[in-house]
Amino acid sequence: MTSVIPNVQPITAILLIVTLNIGVAPAMIIGSLSIMITNFYLGMGIWTIAQILAFAIIILLTGLLSKLPRKFLLVEVVLGFVMSLLYGLLVSAMLAPFFGIKQFWPYYLAGLSFDVMHGIGTAVFYVLLKKPLVKMFQRYQKIEKSE
């Protein structure tokens, strides 16, 4: 997805909301398809695999953390920010060898501002999207149960 602000898009927030409210499997499907479709549009490369794997790891970790009590929205927003930073770290770690990067930490730190933008964007999108998406999921589950 393209955005006016680099590395700010709603997909990470959506995947976390889906994981916490519907489950890991639907989030994996949505995450993989969104990366594939986006990269068909923007350009496919070795980074596609890294992005899919990074989202898979984040979804699995979020699935494990979903067992913990979630009383406050702030906890989920902080989770979104941290998972966004982890996503950037994972993608960088997977791609560095393919780009011949010998010094990982300077490479990673050079792009950290993009990861922070991703984290802030995820936090904002999480706050904006949680309520409508959860309401939509609940409505769908009611329709599914009545059929």
Residue 4 in any domain: the answer is no
Instruction: Judge whether 35 and 49 are in contact, CB under 8 Å.
Output: no
Question: Is 60 part of a structural domain of the chain?
Answer: yes
pTM for the structure as a whole: 0.90
Spatial separation of the C-alpha atoms in residues 18 and 64, rounded to whole Å: 14
In-domain check, residue 132:
no
45, part of any domain? yes
Residue 134 located in a structural domain: no
Structural domain count of the chain? 1
Q: Please report the pLDDT score of residue 4 as a whole number.
A: 67
Does 92 reside within a domain?
yes
Q: What domain range includes position 24?
A: 11-127
Question: Is residue 110 within 8 Å of residue 88, measured between CB atoms?
Answer: no
pLDDT tens for the chain, residues 1 to 147: 455 677 788 999 999 999 999 999 999 999 999 999 999 998 999 999 999 999 999 999 999 998 877 778 999 999 999 999 999 999 999 999 999 999 999 999 999 999 999 999 999 999 999 999 999 999 887 776 776
Is the C-alpha dihedral spanning 31, 33, 35, 37 positive or negative? Answer: negative
Per-residue pLDDT at 36:
96
